[in-house]
Structure 1
Amino acid sequence: MSRDARGASSRRAFLASVGGTAAAGLTATAGCLGRGGSTPTVSVLAAGSLQRALTTEFEAPEGTRFEVEAHGSARVARMVADGQRDPDIVALADPTLFDAPLSVPWYATFANNALVVAYNPQTDGGTRVAEAASWPDALLDDAVSLGRTDPDLDPLGYRTRFALALAADYYDRPALADDLLRRDQIYPETQLLAQFDAGGVDAAFVYRSMAVERGYPSLELPAAIDLSDPEHASAYETASYTLPDGVTVRGGPIRYAATRRTDTAAAKSVFEALVGTAGDFLEPSGFTVRESHPHYFGDVPPTA
């Protein structure tokens, strides 16, 4: 199947093809162990925003176990491209990273998300956000500490920049993005919401799923800004960011995608469960999984 052909397969077909399951564990290693520890282990290198769902909600096929390591997706892609990691499966928050810095022959998209502004109702700054007439005014308040992630390490970071650029046009406030980007509370994706728990951040741009998983209230952004709506794709594409390695990424509806890099039976089984049952373990965490998922792109092997 060629990349131009862009074949698609229904979710229900994959649900039917995946066998029995065993609950994933709470640690970086999940799945079930066979006698004598002989059960094959599948390594998954994943986007930080997938970490909690993969380690607490994902059900691996019976007779398999998997290990999850999570970082920002841009960092994940560089780690694999530079040979620092050699995982069986790579799952990213932006499929464009599979083209560069990675160059994989195929991948499957399996979920979507949206940007929101999460706030901590236990802090004075968070209360200001909750009570403000508009989120731009709330975040521009010097009494509100605003967190975001590093755009050089993960898509959430550069998508925050995209959303702010779109918001500047949407609200006709040309200085909005520059004013908010001057805030220097920048954290790795896997640590950002931990700052809420410590009271170090009053508000942050996060994926809706991250707010849902942590139980933080959030402000919904207009569809023209939150990068969730395919109908606004052409407007989203007007925003761009160039990563340190020279790769330029553009705005678009948020999509998650995965590829399988090894052909073992265990890797195939875990991959099929990951992309085929995404709705079961991701939707309760605030992700969106459309009926068209999983959707395959590229030269897909017959036994993908």
Structure 2
Amino acid sequence: MARQTRRAVLAALGSGLAATAGCGAFGRERVDMLVAGSLQKAASETLQARTDVDLAVEARGSVQAARLVADGKRDPAIVALADPALFDRLMDAAWHAVVASNEMVLAYNPQTDGGERVADAATWYDPLRGDSVSLGRTDPALDPLGYRTLFVLTLAADYYDEPGLADAVLTPDQTYPETQLLAQFETGAVDAAFVYRSMAIERDYPYREFPPEIHLGDPGHAERYRAASYELSDGTAVTGSPIEYGALRRDERDATRTAFEAVLAGDWLAPHGFTVRQAYPRLVGDVPDTVTR
């Protein structure tokens, strides 16, 4: 993938919410970040290298992360989630910035018999039916990757004319936390996993690609994606849509502004397999007037 770099076009700003200030390494001011699990490596390594601020990065499934903030159990200066809709639905945030896109893939372990079956199959889903391949995924109640896995299978059932595909492929014992999912390859616990393309690229795992009609990464198929949906435990309905990542700044400290400018620049994401479109960052909601456009 070609690396896309560009300068931030927005000045960072916050909603006036307080965040805990701290002193990080070498006396630098610390900025607490709560990020989606799929952003952990990009934020901890590449984003950190793009700023002089000391980033204290905590990674969670995005649904869980949004709930932690909404319930007052976390008070990060910056939140970055794998589904921007969660800012409004769970955090009641007035605005956010969309910073990247991604797509779903089926990663496999080429060193296991099950992984080889996935690699060699004429159709990617054939070896997943039955018990010859151990499959990993995340919990849809905690993480967009989990409900997007369900969306892919729902869309695939229609695309390939395979009714009941999800029931044939999924079992309750397949779920892992997003931050641990691909690590299961290293222990041999799973042969294949539904993941974001960026996750496979970061760990250099081979993967099977899905058609754009089902991989949730093509805005041109947004209408088709809306045919899939999932209801969270609190009754919130989530509908299929092109995958996007959003970020929100929650205080006005200089260190947070500096860090958020680096977040909006987007050049920390492309090397990790994310798609950074020319339209990003895209501002959504009641954006304060002080934003530089």
Tell me the TM-score normalised to structure 1 length.
Answer: 0.87
Matched residue type, 1:14: A
Q: Give the structure 2 partner of residue 3 of structure 1.
A: none
Q: Give the structure 2 partner of residue 273 of structure 1.
A: 262
Deviation at 1:118, TM superposition (A): 0.3
Q: The residue matched to 1:99 in structure 2 has which SS?
A: helix
Q: Give the structure 2 partner of residue 237 of structure 1.
A: 226
Matched, 1:227 2:216: yes
Q: C-alpha separation between the residues in 1 aligned to 2:204 and 2:9? A: 29
Matched residue type, 2:8: F
Conservation of the 8 A alpha-carbon contact between 2:109 and 2:206: yes
Q: Give the structure 2 partner of residue 14 of structure 1.
A: 8
Matched residue type, 1:289: V
Q: Give the structure 2 partner of residue 300 of structure 1.
A: 287
TM-align CA RMSD: 1.9
Q: Give the structure 1 partner of residue 252 of structure 2.
A: 263
Q: The residue matched to 1:66 in structure 2 has which SS?
A: strand
Q: C-alpha separation between the residues in 2 aligned to 1:146 and 1:254? A: 22
Q: The residue matched to 1:168 in structure 2 has which SS?
A: helix
Deviations 1:4-63 (A, max 9, x none): xxxxxxx84516979xxxxxxxxxxxx9745xx2x3211100000000111111145654
Matched residue type, 1:283: A
Q: C-alpha separation between the residues in 1 aligned to 2:10 and 2:282? A: 16
Matched, 1:136 2:136: no
Deviation at 1:115, TM superposition (A): 0.2
Q: C-alpha separation between the residues in 2 aligned to 1:242 and 1:300? A: 29
Matched, 1:99 2:88: yes
Conservation of the 8 A alpha-carbon contact between 2:140 and 2:147: yes
Matched residue type, 1:234: E
Deviation at 1:110, TM superposition (A): 0.4
Conservation of the 8 A alpha-carbon contact between 1:146 and 1:183: no
Range with bigger deviation, 287-296 or 55-64: 55-64
Q: How has the CA–CA distance of structure 1 residues 234 and 206 changed in structure 2, closer, same or farther, with 3 Å as cutoff?
A: same
Q: C-alpha separation between the residues in 1 aligned to 2:257 and 2:235? A: 33
Conservation of the 8 A alpha-carbon contact between 2:98 and 2:280: yes
Deviation at 1:94, TM superposition (A): 0.1
Q: Give the structure 2 partner of residue 4 of structure 1.
A: none
Q: C-alpha separation between the residues in 2 aligned to 1:16 and 1:250? A: 29
Q: Give the structure 2 partner of residue 28 of structure 1.
A: none
Deviations 1:186-225 (A, max 9, x none): 1010011111010010011000000001111000000011
Query: Which 5+ residue runs of structure 2 have no aligned equivalent?
Result: 13-22
1:198 to 159, 164, 187: 187
Range with bigger deviation, 219-228 or 139-148: 139-148
Identity %, equivalent residues: 57
Q: C-alpha separation between the residues in 2 aligned to 1:174 and 1:62? A: 49
1:127 to 116, 138, 158: 116
Range with bigger deviation, 128-137 or 155-164: 128-137
Q: The residue matched to 2:32 in structure 1 has which SS?
A: strand
Q: Give the structure 2 partner of residue 156 of structure 1.
A: 145
Matched, 1:291 2:271: no
Matched, 1:213 2:202: yes
Conservation of the 8 A alpha-carbon contact between 1:95 and 1:257: yes
Range with bigger deviation, 281-290 or 249-258: 281-290
Q: C-alpha separation between the residues in 2 aligned to 1:144 and 1:81? A: 38
Q: How has the CA–CA distance of structure 1 residues 270 and 139 changed in structure 2, closer, same or farther, with 3 Å as cutoff?
A: same
Conservation of the 8 A alpha-carbon contact between 2:102 and 2:197: yes
Conservation of the 8 A alpha-carbon contact between 2:51 and 2:259: no
Matched residue type, 1:139: L
Matched residue type, 1:155: P
Q: C-alpha separation between the residues in 2 aligned to 1:76 and 1:284? A: 24
Superposition map of 1:54-93 within 5 A: 54-59=43-48, 63-93=52-82
Conservation of the 8 A alpha-carbon contact between 1:32 and 1:63: no
Q: Give the structure 1 partner of residue 42 of structure 2.
A: 53
Q: The residue matched to 1:273 in structure 2 has which SS?
A: helix
Q: How has the CA–CA distance of structure 1 residues 207 and 253 changed in structure 2, closer, same or farther, with 3 Å as cutoff?
A: same
Query: Which 5+ residue runs of structure 1 have no aligned equivalent?
Result: 1-10, 19-30
Count residues in correspondence. Answer: 277
Q: C-alpha separation between the residues in 2 aligned to 1:15 and 1:138? A: 46
Deviations 1:125-161 (A, max 9, x none): 0011111111111211421111110000100000000
Matched residue type, 1:267: T
